[in-house]
Structure 1
């Protein structure tokens, strides 16, 4: 087979790996781990870049349609953002690619070691800012499927498998991966819910958070109370991102009064604004107190987080990124790892929270703009995998 056809097959394989691995089905996440092998097998740097592009663009294929939905525009802005978002992933993989060695055994060992180090650097760079800001589709996410309950040891074992995939012993990694995959697929059990916690999903589309009327909040409070009554010993109810709209003292008083006589704590998404911009937050509300519980560490780049406005002297207006702030919060005597929307697709917010040994993961999102895509399913699969890896209960609430 000629090098041209080998390169074409590598690119097709990378597309298939990204497409299937990031389909929104948690048990298919390990298919993304084939990508490092395909990347490392490329015969030239341009082909390695095309392999990386094929994988990333396939994994993030819902972005153009999502952007079109969000801005009520045609696909062109979404296609442009799709290409821009892939740039960091492709550049990192192209720069750190190493040519396969065809020399003797000592030369092969040296190339294997260099390539292993390079892919280790790739994994770290795509997990942390600045490259990790668009570090979607990270193969390490599959650790929760292959090693449920193993925690950091499982993450390390997955990293070793990915590194071995790039060397001449890749057959061993493939065999181990296949065995683990069969075992996990036949023994997989979804993460359990936290006792006394429940979520309330909403179907309000783009209107969520834009209706600040007393009637809207009264109806939502009634729904929360009714849902809690239908549950068993419910103490905490979680609502989606943006469920409360703008967080003001008036909204806080309405909710406190609505929860009067109840022992419930409600966690809900809201926005806190000031002249410099706004924070995308989770708030905690009970009859006795209200507080801003969590400020989002990484809002969606472009549509929410727009740091370039300050760079060009146009002031704030976008959502602030708190990056490494508030990795865990406390609710109902539980240490909680909070994740809002975009944070569920990238690595460092999850791993930073796990460093603090949380007892439950709370993931919220507002996915109305993802219609006709698998983005919300991918978010849920990612959160489920991380919860499985660290053996944690999880509560997820989404608006669609």
Structure 2
């Protein structure tokens, strides 16, 4: 009797540890997330499976309350509420699809993993174990994704100890030979430490400082410089003319984040500027739910909020390369990167404005996730973040 009472508690405790360790910002620890399907399958009741799912997800996203409190300059309560709401989809999917029938578990878990990878559940589908595919099978591409998926399915069967040993062998081998994703030749990412003022300070002095930063980073062989999300602020004709004048006679392309506002709301975008002109390079597919993407406004005939371009513009062309852009939140979820990889881009461009994550591991987790995907598909990657 005591053993039966201890078993659920032990599974829940380990699920919390798996979420905490796997999602701490160190790319080589991402495979710890593969413990979750084992724990989910070992649950003896649906209720235990639900608590295991909640424990894993809440531990993995533990930085959210503090980040939200910083973003809104409030206490922790709004962040705690959003934290709990975000976990609902993950918990519901894994609770409903849990089954005592061991023969059906692999198929049910595959369905749960698929649902958490694509909208609508995939909208809050961070902490997805499949992200670790790039650590276990670097360079394998779609075959690596298939191998990782097969491994996840195997972990919910009675053969999970053997599957665990095999996956651990791949993990050790990968860690021993691990190399960071390469920086593409001729590209340079710029990290800034401007805090909350980036994108909000639209003074001429700020733009001149940004132009000076770009000029200082330019050197022989550099063809493209990437700035963080919101670096250009609100994209207006005046801002465009300023940058065009600054790059006149230069052969450098500057890519940076901006907001394009109209009466219905705004698009969070990447803009490419060179001496030849300026153009909108990319419109974000999945802005941050709640703080940016607010679909409920339409129900009350209200405007505002960022638009989500779910399955549009997976790749863009800049400086002679086809790039897979990932803005901030898109680095934490699955479908944007897979959507882009279907087009076989030349490189990944990952940008963010993480000033509100100070004191948390959110930016480190974003970088680790993007690195894992870059290694899986053997793509160079450029990072540019503001903190």
Common topology (TM > 0.5): yes
Q: 1:112: how far off?
A: 3.4
Give the aligned partner of residue 126 of structure 2.
136
How many residues are matched?
386
Give the aligned partner of residue 14 of structure 2.
13
Distance 1:228 1:145 in 2: 33
**What is the CA deviation profile of residues 155-214 of structure 1, one whole-angstrom value per residue up to 9, with x for unaligned ones?**
000000000000001011110111011111111000100000001111010000112122
Give the aligned partner of residue 320 of structure 2.
333
8 A contact 1:283–1:294 mirrored in 2: yes
For the pair 1:397 / 2:387, whether they are aligned, the reply is no
Distance 2:5 2:327 in 1: 43
8 A contact 1:218–1:258 mirrored in 2: no
For the pair 1:261 / 2:249, whether they are aligned, the reply is yes
Give the aligned partner of residue 46 of structure 2.
45
**What is the CA deviation profile of residues 115-160 of structure 1, one whole-angstrom value per residue up to 9, with x for unaligned ones?**
0110000110000000000000000000000100000000000000
Correspondent of 2:281 among 293, 302, 305: 293
Correspondent of 2:221 among 225, 233, 240: 233
**What is the CA deviation profile of residues 24-57 of structure 1, one whole-angstrom value per residue up to 9, with x for unaligned ones?**
0000000000110001100100100000000000
Give the aligned partner of residue 353 of structure 2.
366
Structure 1 length-normalised TM: 0.96
Give the aligned partner of residue 105 of structure 1.
none
Q: 1:113: how far off?
A: 3.1
Which secondary structure state, in structure 2, belongs to the residue aligned with residue 127 of structure 1? coil
Q: 1:309: how far off?
A: 0.8
Distance 2:167 2:154 in 1: 11
8 A contact 1:277–1:316 mirrored in 2: yes
Give the aligned partner of residue 107 of structure 1.
none
Structure 1 residue ranges, 4+ long, deviating more than 3 angstroms after superposition: none
Which secondary structure state, in structure 2, belongs to the residue aligned with residue 113 of structure 1? coil
Give the aligned partner of residue 338 of structure 2.
351
Distance 2:205 2:359 in 1: 31
Q: 1:217: how far off?
A: 1.0
Give the aligned partner of residue 148 of structure 2.
158
Q: 1:312: how far off?
A: 2.1
Segments of 5+ residues of structure 2 without an aligned counterpart are none
Distance 1:250 1:333 in 2: 27
Q: 1:399: how far off?
A: 0.2
**Bigger shift: residues 295-304 or 220-229:** 220-229
Give the aligned partner of residue 108 of structure 1.
none
Which secondary structure state, in structure 2, belongs to the residue aligned with residue 395 of structure 1? strand
